[in-house]
Amino acid sequence: MDRIAITGGAQLNGIIPVSGAKNSAIKLMAASLLTDEPLRLTNMPRLADTKFLGKLLTRLGSRVEEIEGPDGSETILHAPEIVSAIATYDLVRQMRASFNVLGPLIARTGQAKVSLPGGCTIGARPVDLHLQALEALGAKIDLHEGYVYAQAPRGLKGAEIVFPFVSVGATEHAMLAAVLADGVTVIRNAACEPELVDLQICLNAMGAHVEGAGTPTITISGVAKLHGATHAVIPDRIEMGTYAVAAAMAGGEVRLTKARPDLIDSLLVKLEEAGCGVVRTEDGVIIKRDGSRLRAVDLETAPYPGFATDLQAQFMALMTTAKGESRIRETIFENR
């Protein structure tokens, strides 16, 4: 596609069902490597990232089947045997989150070779915390020519993992590795994002013993084996928030369904402060604006439940149309 042509000046009106959360779906897909039984994920988004990860999982030995079920898109992942514990650069570079196959591969096979994910345009996102967590669990880590070589031939061991700062990816990675570790793992200063709670629910449905997700302390009692399960991916809060901002920008009335307004409460509060109508419903939220000019409001991004950094750009664009001066402070990514 060379260009997108948009003819503006019209209000937005209608109903939009919200997709499953990408940031949750890709970690749930990685969790399928932890069992030799099928994992069925419902409410799955159909995105380039999930397709890339599906290709990587296929190379590792998974069978990935995408179907349309009665409640929307589903993906069935089945890895009866890990045929390769190598994740090459040509696939990992396409999506940073695919690096998270490292932990499940070590947990299940005792070894892995995974490419480092490379740089990030919105700021430094090194994987040091991921590797430190795996080392705390007993994995031997070597870095050579852009690859992580990890070994734990006698299996991973439960440990206390204390993150020096909050990291969603590292917290998820530690959870994925620790569920099959021998003993109890305690993760301190853990991220509290709803995607962590979603991962906990899925892992527990597979037979894991995880508690505390959504709080700064997560406790995992390792088990010898996980089994298959069916799990519905939570709604995508960034997609939900983006549509909400679009409705506030253009005016009109937009109903977002298959959504959870509690996941974007920090955004909805700011929209209300700006003069936008917000109605929380049983299955989503209604965004209304009658055409009157919005008021400028200030905000600062923060880890969940604060204002999401991934909604900062959208809200900044909205504030260019508001009356008055808005101050926005980005605290998560230095180049965003």
Of 162, 179, 160, 112, the C-alpha closest to 140 is: 112
Cβ pair 33, 60 in contact under 8 A: yes
List of domains in the chain: 12-18+235-329 (3.65.10.10), 22-232 (3.65.10.10)
Pick from 166, 180, 86: which is nearest to 138 by CA? Answer: 180
> Considering only CA atoms, which of 191, 128, 180 is closest in space to residue 158?
180
The model's confidence at residue 123, banded by pLDDT at 50, 70 and 90, is: very low
pLDDT in tens, 180-200: 999 999 999 999 999 999 999
In whole angstroms, what is the distance from residue 271 CA to residue 15 CA?
19
- For residue 88, what pLDDT band results from cuts at 50, 70 and 90? confident
Q: Is 276 a catalytic residue?
A: no
- Mean pLDDT value of segment 103-123: 81
Q: 120, 192, 202, 276: which one is catalytic?
A: 120
Given a cut of 90, is residue 333 above it in pLDDT?
no
For the entire predicted model, the pTM comes to 0.92
Per-residue pLDDT band for 234 (boundaries 50, 70, 90) equals very high
What are the tens digits of pLDDT across the range 268-316? Answer: 999 999 999 999 999 999 999 987 899 999 999 999 999 999 999 999 9
Rounded alpha-carbon distances, angstroms, from residue 219 to 52, 157, 214, 227, 234: 31, 14, 12, 20, 22
- Alpha-carbon distance of 336 to 334, in angstroms, equals 6
State the average pLDDT over residues 83-110.
89
**pLDDT score for 108:** 97
Instruction: Please state, rounded to an integer, the average pLDDT across all residues of the chain.
Output: 94
Is it the case that residue 121 has pLDDT exceeding 50? no
